[in-house]
Chain A
Amino acid sequence: MNIAVCVKQIPDPAAPGRLDPNTFNLVREGKLVMDDSDSYGVEMALQLVDRAGGGEVTLISMAPNGETSGLRTALAMGAAKAVLVSDPALGGSDALSTAKVLAAAILRNPFDMVITATESTDGYTGTVPVQIAEILGLPAVSFAKKVTLDGNKAMIERQSESGYDEVACELPAVVSVTAGVVEPRYPSFKGIMAAKSKPIETLSLSDLGLSADQVGAAGAREAIVSLRKAEARQAGQIIEDDGEAFAKIIEYLEQLKVV
């Protein structure tokens, strides 16, 4: 069982982010960290490989400046190796460009499954997983909250608005996992030491057989045209509890059609 896991390396969410005033893109200088959302996919993949009794987890990432800090974290969790695509021409990539690059990188190694998060914490488009599937010509199962294996099939519980769907899916497939799928381990110091010598293959666009006009700002089909601050939230409604406040809360929730 070989699994490719897409891992995004993002600016540390603990530090306040900055947007480039000209391109409206997030500034991605300096050290990047593994997107927390991807730690679930890494953990899921490690568990599936473990249960299958063999194989390995390969990380796939696209990041500026040959950044590997976030990948080292995922390697420390137990992934075997990583493929990093880093090329100045990738600046300004939109979701589709990213999917093209990741798909090409995934194809470098044999795999039975591709795991991604449902969306990244710094971009939030949520479209990359299905785009990868489309490019690779594979089935996509999104929002997995549970993944098990049954022979050559993945049995997936897929989160829906009202509950979950049970999906059986032939492998290989692309599966996006939610934050509830498994509890990610944190790297142990032995894992961190071992990760130092695990291979990270760093590739340019030409290594992948892609040209600069297909991806990056040049190939982007979406553009951010303007940006404005989120509106300040209105003050909430305060209900004094005279013993009957629960009824008002139920009434309010009914209005919202959530109960």
Chain B
Amino acid sequence: MVRGSSAKVTSERFNETHLAVVDAVDYYLNSLGPKKRSFIREIFDQHHYPDELNDAMVSLGLFGALIPACYGGTEAGLLSMVLAMERFSAFGLGNTLALLITMDTMAILTGASESMRRRFLPKIASGEIKTAFAITEPGAGTNSFELTLSAKAASDGTEYVLSGEKAWITGVDRADYVLVVARTTTLEEIKRSNLKRSFGLTLFLVPTNASGLSKVKMSTVGVEGYNQFQLFFDNVEVSSELVLGEVNHGASVLFSALNPERIVAAAMAVGSVDYFVNKAIEYAKERVVFGGRSIAHYQSLQHPLARIRTTQEGARLLTYEAAQAFDRGTAPQEVGTYANMAKYLASEVAFEAIDRSLAAHGGTGFVLETEIVQMLASTRLSKTAPINNEMVLNYIAETELGLPRSY
């Protein structure tokens, strides 16, 4: 039997929707059989996340998980998305685009006008519109308040003109729109007028084929199956209809979308632990090095895996807690604590898991056909993006422990 996800999803803790989502995902993943392997090859060898998997996630109702039924969504909820992503990731098929779409959906739900919701949400749920997310700039990563890409209102107010640059933007070539965080009030103006640092940012849903917008593929690794791009905005005109939330108050919309992003990232990391550990177990049981017993008998192999399995369960429970709080409509601040803890622990244990899986495999771990080492970069990236773990610890120190801000 193929070992998949270690998550035990039972009716004591989960409702009928969650159980049905898990059944549907398992049925789909089982029915893929050996095709899973060819998908992995497509991701690793062609750096292309299979369209078929994206289509399946649409059919499974996952891209509409956060979307109310009146906008064509499935209302499955973030916890359903988490349970599903864990299971895909347990087979090495985690999908970063799903994470981006989930956060963008949240931004649209929070910030968009009714007519924009009607325009975008049904098409996101049905897979017709896919979205990317662009906040990072060469000069502004962790400190996003330093971003400078500017948006200026045209004289008649019906549109904005965007100029500047974004970098490391994932999946733009596979997306129809990109949610761009732009500056509508300059940093100088904010300092001069003594405004809050979070003031002055505005969110735009920019069509990826907008004229004046060009993209250059970056030579990056880290997100399997999707590329990163530098985006150059050369006076890109964007209709003011495509502004999400209030002008200059984009940060508050953004804030609502960051929790789902972290929670889905945590779910993918938790799931990937199963992938690495299952492969290690499978190999160790077969591999004999000394004295006729397989290396699976060695405590030096078992204890790290047992510890990883334990930490994974902790990360999983934090992720569930965060997703459940989000679905209940708990205040973002409170969800944020669990979301950050989950993201932290999940990415740390995922990196430990790939390390110990490679250890168990010896030289075989570095053979591409073993299909582990290709995930080293992405697993390490989970500690750095969407937010780095140092920043997560800063946040927890400050909000949970009441310690002074260190930076």
Contact = CB atoms under 8 A, between A and B. Distances in A.
Interface of A: 14-15, 36, 73, 76, 185-193, 196
Contact of B61 (A185, A188, A196): A188
B53 interface: no
A76 B56 CA distance: 16
B377 interface: no
B24 interface: yes
Given A14-B30, A185-B59, A189-B17, 19 more contacts: A14-B1, A36-B31, A186-B27, A186-B28, A186-B31, A186-B59, A187-B23, A187-B24, A188-B59, A188-B61, A189-B23, A189-B24, A189-B60, A189-B74, A190-B20, A192-B24, A193-B16, A193-B20, A196-B16
B72 to A, nearest CB: 13
Interface in B92-145: none
A197 to B, nearest CB: 11
Nearest to B60: A188
Nearest to A13: B33
Contacts, number: 43
Contacts of B20: 189-190, 192-193
B59 A192 contact: no
A185 B56 CA distance: 10
B184 interface: no
Nearest to A34: B27
Q: Which 3 A-B pairs have the closest CB atoms?
A: A189-B20, A192-B20, A189-B24
Interface in B57-98: 59-61, 74, 76, 80
B2 interface: yes
B74 A190 contact: yes
A15 B59 contact: no
B30 A188 contact: no
B175 interface: no
B301 interface: no
B1 A189 contact: no
Nearest to B56: A186
A70 to B, nearest CB: 11
Nearest to A15: B1
Interface string B222-252: 0000000000000000000000000000000
Interface of B: 1-2, 16-17, 20-21, 23-24, 27-28, 30-31, 56, 59-61, 74, 76, 80
Given A36-B31, A193-B16, A186 B24 contact: yes
Contacts of B16: 193, 196
Contacts of B31: 36, 186
26 contacts: A14-B1, A14-B2, A15-B1, A76-B24, A185-B59, A186-B24, A186-B27, A186-B31, A186-B59, A186-B60, A187-B23, A187-B24, A188-B61, A189-B17, A189-B20, A189-B21, A189-B74, A189-B76, A190-B20, A191-B24, A192-B20, A192-B24, A193-B16, A193-B17, A193-B20, A196-B16
B25 to A, nearest CB: 8
Nearest to A77: B27
A83 B123 CA distance: 38
A36 B74 CA distance: 27
Contacts of B59: 185-186, 188
A47 B59 CA distance: 17
Nearest to A186: B28
A187 B30 contact: no
B57 to A, nearest CB: 11
Contacts of A73: 27
Nearest to B30: A14
B76 to A, nearest CB: 6
Contacts of B56: 186
Contacts of A188: 24, 59-61
Contacts of B60: 186, 188-189
Contacts of A36: 31
Contacts of B76: 189
A132 B80 CA distance: 43
A190 B24 CA distance: 9
